């Protein structure tokens, strides 16, 4: 089943670590937990018009949170580290 790239890539992850990785040609995205590496690669290539060398993923469990006397969990989520091919232009995000 072919998924829409906008539903696979949920947004960039912006932190100190990802800023350092960006200098090495690697970008980090928050992605749909059901997406696999091939789907992530195709989505990044289609959305940003760049060539991807490799994709690494990490799964995270949602944290336990309390609202007053009620307990709940945040959603589980997935992070994708996308290494761009040598010579490709870097994907720029607006960082606040």
Q: Would you state the pLDDT for residue 95?
A: 57
- Report which of 58, 67, 65, 74 is spatially closest to residue 13, judged by C-alpha positions: 58
Order of all β-strands in the sheet with 9-12:
9-12, 26-31, 77-84, 52-60
Residues 6+ apart with CB under 8 A from 9: 29, 31, 40, 43, 44, 47
Provide the residue-wise pLDDT of the chain in tens; the chain has 96 residues: 568 999 999 999 999 999 999 999 999 999 999 999 999 999 999 999 999 999 999 999 999 999 999 999 999 999 999 999 998 888 887 655
């Amino acid at each position: 089943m072919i998924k829409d790239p906008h539903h696979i890539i949920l947004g960039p992850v912006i932190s100190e670590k990802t800023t350092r990785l960006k200098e090495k040609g690697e970008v980090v995205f928050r992605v749909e937990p059901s997406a696999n590496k091939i789907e992530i690669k195709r989505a990044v290539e289609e959305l940003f018009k760049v060539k991807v060398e490799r994709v690494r993923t990490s799964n995270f469990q949602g944290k336990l949170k309390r609202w007053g006397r009620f307990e709940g969990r945040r959603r589980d989520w997935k992070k994708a580290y996308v290494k761009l091919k040598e010579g490709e232009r870097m994907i720029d995000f607006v960082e606040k």
